[in-house]
Structure 1
Amino acid sequence: MPQPTILTNVSLFDGTGDELAEGVTVVVADGLIQEVHTDGAGTSTVGDRIDGGGATVLPGLIDAHVHIGAVDVYFETQADRYSPSLMAFKMAHRLRHVLDLGYTTVRDCGGTDWGFKQAVEQRMIPGPRIVISNRMLSQTGGHGDMRSRAQTEEPCRGGHYGMVFSIADGVSEVRRAVREQVRMGADFVKVMASGGAASPTDKLDRPQYSEEELRIIVEEAEMAGVPVAAHALPSIAITRAVRAGARTIEHGNFLDDEAAALMAAHDTFLVPTVATYVMASRHPERYDYPPEITEKVDSAAAAALHSLEVAARHGVRMGSGSDLLGEEIAWLNHELELKADVLGAAATLRSATSVNAELIGRDDLGVVAPGRRADLLIVNGDPLTDISVLGAPGAVRLVMKDGETHRNTL
């Protein structure tokens, strides 16, 4: 049986507080955190000791909105350019990259199927544990319908992974679509409840799906014991999704006071994704979007940070997501920097650890405490003082998932 791993001489952000504890010792064994000593006394446990040299230990980060299948920024046409086997290898490469950055858990909001989840769990490929939704649900002409106005053929409904959608209209079709995602192993159901930036024929500020359809989606998901995540940018779409029973609102860029108050009253989580809009707006040359999509991106980017202020003012519980496409996955920690400018570093780190753990229903993650899963990072510097240290080259010194060391430069 492997000996315990003992992390000594570290400062600690435990995922719940506002300050670091110094001179901490953490004992890991059997995939769990066994002991946490914050009194500087250390431990008598015998095991493999790793001296942190005063660096900071914190819970493995959780990203609550990724698309591992978005292997490039032109996701609407990637199925025409990549074979299924190449897509699979590209997605495996992205999973490893995310783990390297310190994210030990991700919630994939569409496109990653049960097979990738199993491959990680069975240690065939290195990567974060994955919470999956399978195909995203969209109405005809909605955020998941990537046909141009000139195309008249039926929308593509096939594919197993990548950026794949299920186009469903009306009560009977959405009921069947939810059941199909659940059959394929979905941990939650993702529905497009408003327009989006990258879809070619819808408007960013308009709701999608009737309230009746949204209620049926939630009803079917609840019968299967899984929650619903609603892509919703404008407040009219947010309020409809909240009233229908969605557990989370994804993006929420145009959140207003009335919708925020309703979210707080219903205990609905907000999963803001700031970087995907801000970086696309700042670097249009990377995306080469047509003018009508660029206009939508710029509009969403301009509103994104203000929505954080509105949500905080009303006590809306906020997780953290990124929604970054293609090579922009390298900007994962820039998402945290943008949020920290509004919310502060401690609240931002809590959103990416303990709050996201609650959001995905995993009370064994997101906190450094005895009995929790041993998902841990050690980073140079103090992320509560300067959260950008998480993204600094070479700053992530150790990544541990389930008590197993993925990387260690200490």
Structure 2
Amino acid sequence: MTALLFTNARIVDGTAPERGAPMDVLVEAGRIREVAPKITSAAAETVDLGGRTLMPGLIDAHVHTIACLADLGANAKLPDSLVTVRAMKLMGEMLMRGFTTVRDVGGADHGLKVAAAEGFFPAPRLNISGKALSQTGGHCDFRGPYDDRETIKTGFALGALGRVCDGVPEMRKAAREEIKGGAQFIKIMANGGVASPTDPIHFLGFAREELLAVVEEAENAGTYVSAHLYTDAAIRRAVECGVHSLEHCNLIQAETAKFAAAQGAIAVPTLVTYDKLSSEGAAMGFPANSVAKIDSVRLAGMESIAIMREAGLPMAYGSDLLGQMHRHQSEEFVLRGQVMPAHEVIAAATFIAARLLRMEGQIGCIAPGAFADLVVVDGDPLADLALLTHQGRHMPIILQGGAFVKRTALN
């Protein structure tokens, strides 16, 4: 692998409200070797960035790479071969937007992770939960009120977001099976959802003893639990039971946000999915009864960001898009930028997300020893977050693990 020396780079990594002074960054063997005002290397290819912005590869901490259809019930019925090809296409597009790492919170399996890592197709680094765990009638049960067929217990389709389990023994077994199958954390559905047919938003789903059991199983395996959550009551309950990663959180209130922060939890808001489900969901095949649920969480999203920020609850970047709506992945930057300073928005997709993935110092930063996941941006995203949108149009160079995945001429 060719050594690279980036010169005259203005680093933006979410740690400061303004771009840094010009720096040089040396990349060797897929990792960052040195960061300094002036570096010389006779062995490295020099790339003069001419004062352009250099960012760590972006991290999206809430994706569903297998969700090639907006109708998740229909998606679960697709053949694995079709889902695999479509997932690789979706992941390739994510990478071209500058997302060099993504956390899949329901659906992707270890085989898809290995396929992404082998590099035959462009794809981000995958961090996976395997199948999300849901209760009967919960957010991964798409049978509807008139379908009383038994849920599948084994051999889950790749296109299925999750699996249904009820009671403490089933929860423990499901968690153990997902970890055995390569899950790096456990995802549970601990509140009602928008996409599923029989669980209003206020549903709490699992009993406390089920939540405590799955948290214990995750801790036994040296990892954590991520939970789908909307209401304040559900979030408080989940944090009390030891849940670490709080997905969505649209209806969180100040006291619960402070409590979650004190417990060391991390939130992953996903504003863009509700924005796009509201405007495009029906046309993309999102079920009508699901469209009707959207506004109950969408309209509170912006307020939740302000509440969590005031409480000091760290927030990682998440998009949670489905089907053709994946193209809006980067617009979460702009939405959050309406209520947060730009550098804090960028921090969500860099070092905060890296902390959530337990990869601090390896991704989400430009520092010696980190993976050489780097994105060059024409312009200053701290002044205009929209530079991170438009499908990577303003990103002439994207590097993953020290290898170019995109390289266009620097004018």
**Could you tell me the TM-score, scaled by structure 1's length?**
0.96
Structure-2 separation of matches of 1:291 and 1:361: 38
Q: Could you tell me which residue of structure 1 aligns to residue 266 of structure 2? A: 269
Check conservation: 2:135, 2:206, Cα contact below 8 A.
yes
Residues 119 and 289 of structure 1, relative CA distance in 2, 3 Å threshold: closer
Partner of 1:380: 378
Contact 1:134–1:161 (8 Å) recurs in 2: no
Q: Structure 1 pair 288/111, CA: closer, same or farther in 2 (3 Å)? A: closer
AA partner of residue 363 (structure 2): L
Q: Retained in 2: the 8 A contact 1:113–1:160? A: no
Contact map agreement 2:270 2:332 (CA 8 A) in 1 = yes
- The structural deviation recorded for 1:15 is 3.9
In structure 1, distance between residues paired with 2:106 and 2:285: 23
Q: 1:342 is paired with a residue of what secondary structure?
A: coil
User: For 1:296-348, what per-residue CA distance to the aligned partner results, in whole angstroms no more than 9, with x for missing partners?
Assistant: 11211101111101101110011111101112111111011111111121001
* Deviation readout 1:165-213 (Å, 9 max, x if unpaired): 2211111111111111111010000000000001101111221101111
Q: Could you tell me how far apart the structure 1 residues matched to 2:66 and 2:282 are? A: 22
Number of residue equivalences? 406
CA contact (8 A) 2:139 2:199 kept: yes
Amino acid at match of 1:126: P
Task: Output the CA distance in 1 between the equivalents of 2:120 and 2:207.
Answer: 42
For the residue of structure 2 that corresponds to 1:396, the secondary structure is coil
1:290: Cα distance to partner? 4.6
The verdict on how the C-alpha distance between 1:107 and 1:276 changes in structure 2, with shifts beyond 3 A counting, is same
Structural mapping, 1:237-276, within 5 Å: 237-276=234-273
Name the residue aligned to 1:124.
Answer: 120
1:391 equivalent to 2:351? Answer: no
* Equivalent residues of 1:16, 1:367 under 8 A apart: no
1:82-138: per-residue Cα shift (whole Å, max 9, x none)? 322111111111111111110010100011000111112222322111011111100
SS of 2:119 mapped into structure 1: coil
Aligned-residue offset at 1:289: 4.0
CA distance in 2, matches of 1:141, 1:371: 46
How far 1:402 sits from its partner (Å)?
0.9
Candidates 145, 152, 157, aligned match of 1:156: 152
**Cα–Cα, structure 1 residues 43 and 352, in superposed 2: closer, same or farther, change >3 Å?**
same
Distance 2:261 2:119 in 1: 39
- Corresponding residue number in structure 1 for 2:131: 135
Conserved in 2, the CA contact under 8 Å of 1:68 and 1:162?
Answer: no
DSSP 3-state at the match of 1:35: strand
State whether residues 195 and 290 of structure 2, in contact with CA within 8 Å, keep that contact through their aligned partners in structure 1: yes
Shift of 1:150: 1.1
SS in structure 2 at match of 1:258: helix
Alignment match, 1:145: 141
Is structure 2 residue 324 aligned with structure 1 residue 303? no
Greater Cα offset, 313-322 or 277-286: 277-286
The TM-score, its normalising length taken from structure 2, stands at 0.95
Q: Distance in 2 between matches of 1:145 and 1:278?
A: 24
Q: Counterpart in 2 of 1:83?
A: 79
| SS, match of residue 210 in structure 2 | helix
Structural RMSD (CA)? 1.5
Where in structure 2 are the equivalents of 1:210-359 lying within 5 Å? 210-359=207-356
